[in-house]
Amino acid sequence: MQLNPPIALDRRVRKSRQALCTALLYLLLEKPFEQITLQEITDRADLAYTTFFRNYSDKDALLKDLAQTQIERLLDLALPLFSAKDSSTSTLSMCNYVQEHRQIWTALLTGGAAANVREMFVRQVESRADQWPAQPTWLPASFGSVILSNITLDVLALWLNKAPATAPNEIAAMLAKFFKVIDDS
């Protein structure tokens, strides 16, 4: 029996954080993460500079808050793809998800924070390593997840960035081809 969601945040706090997140999101479409200033973020969010620090300790903390959730959702859809059975299903549903949230994922993957996001992504995948039993035998332990993650992100980034017209199922097909290599003993 749970009381409340983690400690039901003040509505104002939720609003501020939301504003900061979307502000960052839009800025990421314009310029690299490191070049984005807290001042710019708070300006765009229409909040006082100091308010930022009441909500996040850091610019990275904001990015994390922004990206972590997205990554989680994506992984919930994507992880089954490692289990060979419904690989194609999960791959496709992942691509559909990205398609639906095209803008946010464009910011995350092709914007300036790409490197950071990839790192978070890989770390999350590794922390869920136990969720799929079959490690490819021809790769050293933990090589698999890193490489798989990177290929996935590469394909998604290229899709969003260079070939936005491509249909989700085409992308899913490409990914599937790569995944098969790893599953093949």
- Residues contributing to the site for DNA (CB under 7 A): 8-13, 15-16, 36-39, 46-51, 53-55, 57-59
Residue 151 interacts with, from DNA, a second copy, none (CB under 5-8 Å by kind) = a second copy
Find the shortest distance in angstroms from Cβ 19 to DNA: 8
- Which pair of structure tokens corresponds to residue 18? 């939301």
CB of 11 to DNA, least distance (A): 4
Q: Residue 19 or 95: which CB sits closer to DNA?
A: 19
Helices (H) and strands (E) in the chain, counts: 9, 0
Buried b (16+ CB within 10 A) or exposed e, 49-70: eebbeebbeebeebbbebbeeb
Please give the angle made by the CA atoms of 109, 112 and 116, to the nearest 5 degrees.
Answer: 70
Least distance between DNA and beta carbon 53 (Å)? 4
Contact 55, 45 (CB under 8 A): no
- Cα end-to-end distance, the chain, whole Å: 46
Interaction residues for a second copy, span 13-72 (CB under 8 A): 34
Which residues within the stretch 126-145 sit at the binding site for a second copy (CB under 8 A)?
Answer: 138-140, 142-143
Least spacing, CB of residue 106 vs DNA, in Å: 22
Stretch that binds a second copy, among 64-72, 81-89, 94-102, 158-166 (CB under 8 A): 158-166
Hey, is 46 helix, strand or coil? coil
